[in-house]
C-alpha cells in the first residue's frame, strides 16, 4: 500500500519542529552571546577578566566546584551503597528526599537556609555562641552549592548499582574478602563511570548556580560574589562588556563539560554492549 501524504510528512515535520525549538531556546541565545561578546571586544575582553572583582568571583566559583566535587564523590558513593545495599529505617524516605533539590526552586532553598541561619533564624543563637557566620559569608555559598548538587552523583551511582546487582560482591565475600576489600576491588571499579558522570553534572550545576548563592551569599563584591552573580551585578551596573565576557567563559566551560559528558556516555554504552 502506498504511503499517504500525511504519513510521509510526519517525520520531516517532527524533525523541523525539533530544529525550530532547539534553534529558538538554545542556539539563538548562544549565537546572540557570541555576537554581544564580539561587539564588546573593543572594551578589552581579556583585561575585563583580569579585574580584581572578576578574578575573585571566578576564584570563588572554582573553589565551590572543588568542594562540591569532593563532597559529592564521598556522599554519592557512600550514600548510594547505603541505599541500595542496606536496609534501615527511613531508607525510602531518604531515597525520595534526595531528589528534592531538583523539584525546589533554588531561591526557595536560599530562603529556607535564611530561616535557619539568618539573623533571626532558628539556629542563629547557637551560631552566635560559636562565632560562626553563614548568611552573607562563604559557608552560605558552600551550603547552597552542596544542596543543589546533591542528587546528581547520588542518583547516577544508585542507578548503576541497581543495574549491576550484588552477584560480584557476594562472590568476593564468599572468597573471604573483607567489606573494605570488596569496596575497593569490586564496588568502586564498578561505580567509577557513574561516579565520574555524576560528578561532572554536579560540577556543571555548580558553575551555573545563581538563585541560592545570591540569596544566601548576597553577592558581596570581593567576598561572596560568584561568577554568575558577577554577571547579574555587572548587568545591573550597566557594564555589559564585563557581563558578556564572564558569560562567555561560563558558556565555554559548560560546552567543554557537555562534550566530556558525551564522551563518557559513549564509553559507558560501548562497555555495556561488550
Dihedrals phi, psi of 210, to nearest 5 degrees: -135, -55
Q: What is the pTM of this model?
A: 0.85
Q: Which three cell numbers stand for residue 240?
A: 555589559
As a CATH number, domain 45-273 is 1.10.3720.10
For residue 229, with 0-12 CB atoms within 10 Å meaning exposed, 13-18 middle and 19 or more buried, which class applies? buried
Interval 177-189 mean pLDDT:
88
pLDDT at 240 over 90: no
Q: Contact at 8 Å (CB) between 115 and 121? A: yes
Q: Contact at 8 Å (CB) between 250 and 234? A: no
Contacts of 21 (CB under 8 A, 6+ apart): none
pLDDT confidence of 27, banded at 50, 70, 90? Answer: confident
d(C-alpha 191, C-alpha 186), whole Å: 9
Interval 251-263 mean pLDDT:
84
Poorest-confidence range of 22-31, 65-74, 150-159?
22-31
pLDDT at 164 over 90: no
pLDDT digits (tens, 9 = 90+) for 82-133: 999 888 888 889 888 888 898 888 899 889 899 899 888 888 888 888 888 8
pLDDT digits (tens, 9 = 90+) for 258-271: 888 887 777 767 76
| End-to-end Cα distance, the chain | 40
Dihedrals phi, psi of 44, to nearest 5 degrees: 85, 80
Poorest-confidence range of 5-14, 50-59, 73-82?
5-14
Written as one string, the DSSP assignment of 179-199 is HHHHIIIIIHHHHHHHHHHHH
pLDDT confidence of 146, banded at 50, 70, 90? Answer: very high
d(C-alpha 160, C-alpha 171), whole Å: 18
Q: Which three cell numbers stand for residue 203?
A: 560540577
Mean pLDDT, all residues of the chain: 86
pLDDT confidence of 6, banded at 50, 70, 90? Answer: low
Interval 187-211 mean pLDDT:
91
pLDDT confidence of 72, banded at 50, 70, 90? Answer: very high
d(C-alpha 190, C-alpha 200), whole Å: 17
Would you list the domain boundaries of the chain?
1-43, 45-273
Residue 273's pLDDT is 65
pLDDT at 3 over 60: no
Amino acid at each position: 500500500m502506498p504511503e499517504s501524504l500525511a504519513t510521509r510528512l510526519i517525520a520531516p515535520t517532527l524533525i523541523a519542529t525539533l530544529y525550530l525549538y532547539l534553534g529558538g531556546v538554545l542556539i539563538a541565545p548562544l549565537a546572540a552571546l557570541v555576537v554581544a561578546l564580539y561587539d564588546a571586544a573593543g572594551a578589552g575582553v581579556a583585561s575585563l577578566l583580569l579585574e580584581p572583582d572578576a578574578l575573585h568571583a571566578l576564584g570563588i566559583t572554582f573553589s565551590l566546584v572543588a568542594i562540591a566535587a569532593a563532597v559529592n564523590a564521598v556522599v554519592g558513593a557512600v550514600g548510594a551503597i547505603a541505599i541500595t545495599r542496606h536496609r534501615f529505617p527511613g531508607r525510602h524516605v531518604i531515597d525520595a528526599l534526595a531528589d528534592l533539590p531538583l523539584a525546589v526552586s533554588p531561591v526557595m532553598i536560599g530562603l529556607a537556609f535564611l530561616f535557619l541561619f539568618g539573623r533571626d533564624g532558628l539556629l542563629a543563637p547557637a551560631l552566635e555562641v560559636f562565632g560562626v557566620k553563614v548568611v552573607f559569608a562563604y559557608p552560605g555559598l558552600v551550603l547552597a552549592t552542596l544542596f543543589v548538587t546533591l542528587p546528581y552523583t547520588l542518583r547516577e551511582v544508585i542507578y548503576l548499582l541497581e543495574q549491576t546487582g550484588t552477584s560480584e560482591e557476594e562472590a568476593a565475600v564468599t572468597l573471604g574478602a573483607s567489606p573494605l576489600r570488596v569496596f575497593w576491588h569490586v564496588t568502586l571499579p564498578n561505580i567509577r563511570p557513574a561516579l565520574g558522570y555524576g560528578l561532572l553534572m554536579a560540577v556543571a550545576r555548580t558553575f551555573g548556580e545563581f538563585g541560592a548563592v545570591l540569596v544566601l551569599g548576597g553577592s558581596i563584591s570581593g567576598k561572596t560574589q560568584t561568577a554568575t552573580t558577577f554577571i547579574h551585578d555587572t548587568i545591573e551596573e550597566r557594564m555589559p562588556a564585563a557581563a558578556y565576557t564572564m558569560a562567555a567563559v561560563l558558556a565555554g566551560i559548560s560546552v567543554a563539560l557537555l562534550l566530556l559528558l558525551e564522551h563518557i556516555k559513549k564509553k559507558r554504552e560501548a562497555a555495556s554492549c561488550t
